[in-house]
C-alpha cells in the first residue's frame, strides 16, 4: 500500500536530483530563489528543471520577502505549482500573493518556543499550506536549510485547518520519530540529503524517503 506521507525535497539544483527524488517517492520538489543560499537557482535554470520534472510532482518555488516585480518575473518564467514564502511576509502579504498570482501559497514559520505557535495560527486562515520549520539562529544567513531541529513536542497534537509540513533538521535517522511525535503527514528537508552544499545525494534521498514512507 502507498504511504500517506508526502515528502518534499527542497533546494534541488540538478535534473538528476529531481529524478532521484521522484524515484524515491517524493511528491514535492523545491526550487530555491534566495540568492544567498548555496541551493539558489536562476530563473533560466529553474525553468529547465521544472520543465523536466515528471508530471504530478508539485514544483514549489521558495522565495524570501519577494517584491511583486520579482514574483512577476518568476511566475512568467518558471512553471511552478506553488509559491513558498520563507521570509517575514505578513498574513496580508500571503493573501495578496495568492490573489495576484493565482497559485497556492505555502507559508514557512519558524518555531522555537510555544509563543511561535500563535504566529503559525495567524497564517492558517490565509495560506494554502503551512511549513513548520525551525526558527533560524539570530546570526543565521539563511531563513531555513540550517539543519537544526526544534522541540517537536511543541506541536504534538496541534492541527490547523490547512495541510502542514514539518521541516527543520530532519534526516533518515530522525524522521520516523518526528512523524510519530508530531503527527505530521508531510515532511520537508534539504541539507541532510546533500553530499555538499546544494548537491543532492541519490542514496541519501532514497534512505530518507524509505524512512519517511515506512509509516
Beta-carbon neighbour count of residue 24 at 10 Å?
Answer: 21
> Beta partners for 83?
61, 105
Q: What pLDDT was estimated at residue 105?
A: 98
Task: Summarize pLDDT for 25-55 with one digit per residue, the tens.
Answer: 999 999 999 999 999 999 999 999 999 999 9
Asked whether the whole model's pTM tops 0.85, one would answer yes
Catalytic residue among 10, 58, 188, 209: 10
Closest CA to 63 of 77, 82, 83, 38: 83
Torsion of CA 183, 188, 192, 196, to 10 degrees: 180
* Residue 111 neighbours by CB under 8 Å, 6+ apart: 117, 120, 132, 133, 134, 135, 150, 154, 155, 168
Q: Is 209 helix (H, G, I), strand (E, B) or coil?
A: helix
Q: Helix crossing, 175-182 with 202-212: angle to 10°?
A: 30
How many whole angstroms separate alpha carbon 154 and alpha carbon 89?
23
Alpha-carbon span 107 to 127, nearest angstrom: 6
Q: Match 520519530 to its residue by C-alpha cell.
A: 177
Average pLDDT over every residue of 192-215: 94
Question: 133 an active-site residue?
Answer: yes
pLDDT digits (tens, 9 = 90+) for 47-97: 999 999 999 999 999 999 999 999 999 999 999 999 999 999 999 999 999
pLDDT category, 146, cuts 50, 70, 90?
low
Q: Is 10 a catalytic residue?
A: yes
- Which residue among the candidates 17, 58, 133, 188 is catalytic per the annotation? 133
Q: What ranges in 80-184 are assigned the alpha helix state H?
A: 91-101, 116-123, 175-182
2: which residues sit within 8 A by CB, 6+ positions away?
none
Amino acid at each position: 500500500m502507498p504511504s500517506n506521507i508526502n515528502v518534499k525535497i527542497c533546494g534541488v539544483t540538478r535534473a538528476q536530483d529531481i529524478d532521484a527524488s521522484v524515484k524515491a517517492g517524493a511528491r514535492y520538489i523545491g526550487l530555491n530563489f534566495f540568492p544567498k543560499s548555496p541551493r539558489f537557482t536562476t530563473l533560466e535554470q529553474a525553468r529547465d528543471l521544472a520543465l523536466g520534472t515528471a508530471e504530478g510532482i508539485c514544483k514549489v518555488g521558495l522565495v524570501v520577502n519577494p517584491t511583486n516585480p520579482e514574483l512577476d518575473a518568476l511566475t512568467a518564467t518558471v512553471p511552478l505549482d506553488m509559491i513558498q514564502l520563507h521570509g517575514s511576509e505578513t498574513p496580508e502579504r500571503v493573501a495578496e500573493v495568492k490573489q495576484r498570482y493565482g497559485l497556492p501559497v505555502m507559508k514557512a514559520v519558524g518555531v522555537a518556543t510555544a509563543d511561535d505557535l500563535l504566529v503559525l495560527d495567524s497564517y492558517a486562515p490565509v495560506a494554502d499550506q503551512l511549513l513548520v520549520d525551525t526558527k533560524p539562529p539570530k546570526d543565521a544567513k539563511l531563513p531555513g536549510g540550517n539543519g537544526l531541529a526544534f522541540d517537536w513536542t511543541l506541536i504534538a497534537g496541534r492541527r490547523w485547518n490547512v495541510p502542514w509540513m514539518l521541516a527543520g533538521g530532519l534526516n533518515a535517522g530522525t524522521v520516523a520519530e518526528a512523524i510519530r511525535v508530531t503527527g505530521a503527514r508531510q515532511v520537508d528537508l534539504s541539507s541532510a540529503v546533500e553530499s555538499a552544499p546544494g548537491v543532492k545525494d541519490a542514496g541519501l534521498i532514497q534512505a530518507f524517503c524509505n524512512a519517511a514512507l515506512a509509516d
